Amino acid sequence: MLNGKHLIAGQWVSGDETFQSKPAHGPSHAFAVGTPELVNDACLAAEEAFWSYGYSSRQNRAKFLNTIADKIEERGADLTEIGTQETGLPEARLNGERGRTTGQLRLFAEHILSGDYLDRRFDEALPDRAPLPRPDLRMMQRPIGPIAVFGSSNFPLAFSTAGGDTAAALAAGCPVVVKGHSAHPGTGEIVAQAIHEAIKDCDLHPGVFSFVQGGTREVGQTLVKHPLIKAVGFTGSLGGGRALFDLCAARPEPIPFFGELGSVNPMFLLPHALSHRGDEIATGWAGSLTMGAGQFCTKPGVCVVIEGADASAFAKAVTKALAPFEAQTMLTDGIAKSYRDGRDRIAGAKGIRDLLTTSCDQRTATPYLFQATAKEWLDNQALGEEVFGPLGLIIVADNFEEMMKVARTLEGQLTCTLHLDAEDSTEGRALLPILERKAGRLLANGFPTGVEVSSTMVHGGPYPASTNFGATSVGTLSIRRFVRPVCYQNIPTDILPEDIA
Ligand code: NAP
């Protein structure tokens, strides 16, 4: 079970200071506080491990990923027990997330075996070409070196210690140093135990993976500034992500910071869909908004409609659908407080109408629903900021032109959704090119919560949805973040890497 220590290059290390976990229920445990010295030890070991792991065969890395998945599955009951205690999320959610996490690891194993991600290209030598001969040119993607990973509080397994970032980096051939999330230190440690065992079973260099608990912000800051770290995978808040991104950019050698942050994931309800299916969309929205206490980065927080009787009926239907939802436990006390602060910010904005006002305190959240006109939204940027929790905002536009204006002024989003019927296709066609410039994923007639892990998924988008619009943090394309192209010109085949020889 728990030892409360850091895993640094194969050794479980304690420290002088500890911090206590703050579970939603069940016992609190003590965990060693991370230090800059431990971060340095982990990074030095990761760099040393790169010289073997970065040049290992795809077969060996696939075996490693599958072994991690097996070891996580063996710890399923422990993970669910501690995970539910630390996060307050229900058992079914933890079990489902474990399946997603091991599925992701196995998907990456398959993906690297196929070799497609190497994007190998060959330009044959043309020795007789005039006026100049062409050399033998080959290109493929190579791993970049040690990666720092910061998981998020709301996915204690799938976006954390062995989550998507770690799986993608290890698949690419990059050692990983994880900064444990203070909201689920025990869950993180048990996953680290699973990875530790997989390293031993696969006979890999122990520096391939280290896990440093937090306890102070200095740990994460030292990690992103460490000269041996070559990129950062981060899932979390805009404030935290921006602070760490700025540190990466200010380094003597700036490095890419792949921050997947948040967004309000607007939904546009076109007139015929609103008229024919307003009630159905209202019920669906209420479910998506309150799922997991609204603690999803893809939570659709904003609905844009056009003024009229259908819009009024829709607002009433959403209010009715949301009213029965009871208080849900939030991931941390801090997130619950931020939710109430966000609610107060929206409630206090000029021209806002309260449609559903509830009450919540301590570590709980209840749904809130507000309404504003498109003019008020366009005048007040703050209405477009994410409120992490079950809060919805309906924006009422005077007409379709004003709806287009709202779309044009959106900040970067993870997702944008259209609800449209066949008769709405003219408006849909006009909106789509605008939304395409705003978001990584566009949906029709659905809800953005629930992100498929697959080869086509894009979980990212223009800032502030992410800090790097060319990347995704979910799906097999996410491996691209941790490789870079290398061109080999006239290199004798007997010394070329096996994958390009
Ligand atoms: P968070 O508070 O930003 O924390 C994420 C990690 O970063 C934690 O390890 C945290 O350390 C660390 N951190 C934050 N600020 C830091 C700073 N200034 N210096 C050093 N380290 C820092 O985010 P969260 O609470 O885990 O997640 C909730 C947010 O994440 C929501 O806003 C949500 O929308 C977003 N999210 C986005 C996605 C996505 O894919 N786009 C997915 C899930 C969640 P501590 O452990 O010390 O707090």
pLDDT digits (tens, 9 = 90+) for 203-231: 999 999 999 999 999 999 999 999 999 99
Query: How buried is 98 (Cβ within 10 angstroms: 0-12 exposed, 13-18 middle, 19+ buried)?
Result: buried
Q: Give the residue, out of 22, 86, 152, 333, with the most ligand 1 atoms within 8 A of its beta carbon, to mutate for a pocket test.
A: 152
Q: Are residues 50 and 124 in the same domain?
A: yes
243 touches ligand 1 (CB under 6 Å): yes
Nearest CA to ligand 1 atom 17: 240
> Does 363 fall in a domain?
yes
Distance in angstroms (rounded) separating the CA atoms of residues 375 and 351:
10
334 touches ligand 1 (CB under 6 Å): no
> Does 460 fall in a domain?
no
Contacts of 374 (CB under 8 A, 6+ apart): 304, 395, 396, 397, 398, 402, 403, 405, 406
Q: Are residues 146 and 13 in the same domain?
A: yes
Q: Are residues 379 and 483 in the same domain?
A: no
Strand segments, DSSP code E, in 175-251 are 176-179, 209-212, 231-235
> Does 451 fall in a domain?
no
Q: What residue ranges of the chain have pLDDT lower than 50?
A: none
Nearest CA to ligand 1 atom 18: 240
H helices then E strands: how many in the chain? 14, 21
CA of 186 to the centre of ligand 1 (A): 17
34 touches ligand 1 (CB under 6 Å): no
Q: Are residues 313 and 249 in the same domain?
A: no
Q: Please give the structure tokens belonging to residue 246.
A: 């700025």
Query: How buried is 129 (Cβ within 10 angstroms: 0-12 exposed, 13-18 middle, 19+ buried)?
Result: exposed
Distance in angstroms (rounded) separating the CA atoms of residues 270 and 465:
24
pLDDT of residue 235: 97
Q: Are residues 12 and 97 in the same domain?
A: yes
Query: In total, how many domains does the chain have?
Result: 2
> Does 1 fall in a domain?
no
432 touches ligand 1 (CB under 6 Å): no
CA of 116 to the centre of ligand 1 (A): 32
Q: Which helix (H) or strand (E) holds 162?
A: none
Distance in angstroms (rounded) separating the CA atoms of residues 43 and 49:
10
> Does 127 fall in a domain?
yes
Distance in angstroms (rounded) separating the CA atoms of residues 57 and 284:
46
182 touches ligand 1 (CB under 6 Å): yes
388 touches ligand 1 (CB under 6 Å): yes
What SS3 class is residue 115? coil
214 touches ligand 1 (CB under 6 Å): yes
Contacts of 33 (CB under 8 A, 6+ apart): 15, 17, 18, 19, 213, 214, 215, 216, 219
Contacts of 217 (CB under 8 A, 6+ apart): none
415 touches ligand 1 (CB under 6 Å): no
Q: Which residues are catalytic?
A: 260, 297
Crossing angle (nearest 10°) for helices 164-172 and 91-114: 20
Nearest CA among 112, 117, 165, 158 for reference residue 141: 117
Q: Are residues 387 and 274 in the same domain?
A: yes
Contacts of 340 (CB under 8 A, 6+ apart): 360, 361
Nearest CA to ligand 1 atom 40: 260
Contacts of 361 (CB under 8 A, 6+ apart): 340
Q: Are residues 290 and 343 in the same domain?
A: yes
Q: Are residues 199 and 279 in the same domain?
A: no
Q: Are residues 191 and 58 in the same domain?
A: yes
Q: Please give the structure tokens belonging to residue 62.
A: 């696939």
Backbone angles phi, psi at 121, to 5 degrees: -135, 145
pLDDT of residue 1: 86
Distance in angstroms (rounded) separating the CA atoms of residues 273 and 76:
43
Distance in angstroms (rounded) separating the CA atoms of residues 179 and 160:
9
CATH number for the domain that contains residue 13: 3.40.605.10
Q: Give the residue, out of 235, 248, 257, with the most ligand 1 atoms within 8 A of its beta carbon, to mutate for a pocket test.
A: 235
CA of 337 to the centre of ligand 1 (A): 15
Distance in angstroms (rounded) separating the CA atoms of residues 479 and 38:
27
> Does 326 fall in a domain?
yes
240 touches ligand 1 (CB under 6 Å): yes
> Does 501 fall in a domain?
no
CA of 151 to the centre of ligand 1 (A): 7
Nearest CA to ligand 1 atom 25: 153
Q: Are residues 254 and 398 in the same domain?
A: no
> Does 84 fall in a domain?
yes
Backbone angles phi, psi at 31, to 5 degrees: -130, 145
Q: Are residues 256 and 359 in the same domain?
A: no
Q: Are residues 231 and 104 in the same domain?
A: yes
Query: Range of 35's domain?
Result: 6-19+30-261+466-489
Per-residue HEC secondary structure of 237-256 comes to CHHHHHHHHHHHHHCCCCCC
pLDDT digits (tens, 9 = 90+) for 12-47: 999 899 999 999 999 999 999 999 999 999 999 999
CATH number for the domain that contains residue 328: 3.40.309.10
